[in-house]
Amino acid sequence: MKITILIIITSCCVFPLVFANLRLGFYGVSCPKAEAIVRDVVQRHFNKDRSITAALLRMHFHDCFVRGCDASLLIDPTGNRSSEKDAVPNRTVRGYDIIDDAKSILERACPETVSCADIISLATRDAVALAGGPSYNVPTGRRDGLVSNPKEVRLPSPTLSVSEAMQSFGAKGFSLMEMVTLVGGGHSVGVAHCSMFRERLSSFRGGSVDPTMDPNLDARLVELCGSSNRPATNDPTVFLDLNTPFAFDNRFYNQILERRGILHFDQQLAMDESSRDMVSRFATDGDILFQDFANAMIKLSAVNVWLDNEGEIRRNCRAFN
């Protein structure tokens, strides 16, 4: 299943003040090939590694949830200054090479024109489409931020309840439906380290199986992750969607309805009375998921963006000008 979604942004709908400045085709005159350049770079990387969809979705989320979508996550730490990359949740973020490749080509084609923040949003959109997900339009015109502080990195934990996570998403302007959409869509192609869910496993619970987890899944994960006395080395990863881990689809929602969610929070989405019906709806109708996910991603990409003469257009995405 693959559908194309065309979103028309008007000043009377979501985020009116932001979308009045972000617009489709922002680089139509200043850098006409900008979006094609990003798309070609993403295609080249995807051909070698289909897991980049998950990597870019995670990068996009981690950037936008801290200070907004300003590419602050891309800044490298230096000898006398730390950055968001130093924060624990960001130490396993990857995909920076994709952004670097796109920026390098764009700087040769249109120097100091296309922001790193826009590259993240465009690259993520293209990677989702390549994985079989919705193809949607992303308004552009973001500017790059001037601060990258690891102390400001506060992201929702996979151990939270639905209501606790909703506090974090709600603070960014997202509804419960949008949270369920973004989390499920992102986890459709994502992975998790054993350290993120091992406390759910019987080998870490004195032999007691988590009643919210399918026993067969518990046995499979115990074999991978080890026990509290002898944990697996190198903290292995497991696909969050056990059936179609590289395809963007609605199978993840069916999986958590069967008590086969890897992360505590994922499983809670299917069990909490506030979100259970939404999960069932997406599990039944993938087209609705695609439409809602596209809308939620466009909204995510507009969180607290820098516009017009704010911030800067970095020459190198890893360093302030």
The reply to whether 28 sits in an annotated binding site is no
| Dihedral over alpha carbons 314, 315, 317, 319 (to 10 degrees) | -80
The reply to whether 193 sits in an annotated binding site is no
Nearest 5°: CA angle at 274, between 270 and 278?
A: 55
CB < 8 Å & 24+ apart, contacts of 250-259: 250/184, 250/188, 250/282, 250/283, 250/285, 250/286, 250/289, 251/188, 252/184, 252/187, 252/188, 253/184, 253/279, 253/280, 253/282, 253/283, 253/289, 254/283, 257/283, 258/214, 259/212, 259/213, 259/214, 259/217
The reply to whether 249 sits in an annotated binding site is yes
Name the 3-class secondary structure at 245. Answer: coil
Instruction: Choose among 184, 192, 153: nearest CA to 281.
Output: 184
Phi-psi region of 241 (alpha: psi -120 to 50; beta: other; left: phi over 0): beta
**Buried/exposed 299-321: b ≥16 CB within 10 Å, e otherwise:** bbbbbebbeeeebbbbeebbebe
The reply to whether 63 sits in an annotated binding site is yes
Tokens describing residue 150? 């690891």
* Residue of 45, 60, 62, 264 marked active site: 62
Q: For residues 237 and 225, what is the distance between their CA atoms, to the nearest angstrom?
A: 9
The reply to whether 178 sits in an annotated binding site is no
Catalytic residue list contains 193: no
- List 237's β-bridge partners, or say none: 193
The reply to whether 68 sits in an annotated binding site is yes
The reply to whether 144 sits in an annotated binding site is no
CB 38 within 8 A of CB 110: no
The reply to whether 104 sits in an annotated binding site is no
The reply to whether 70 sits in an annotated binding site is yes
Annotated binding site for Ca(2+): 63, 66, 68, 70, 72, 84, 241, 244, 249
Q: Which segments are annotated as binding site for substrate?
A: 156
Annotated binding site, which residues?
63, 66, 68, 70, 72, 84, 156, 187, 241, 244, 249
Catalogue the active-site residues. 62
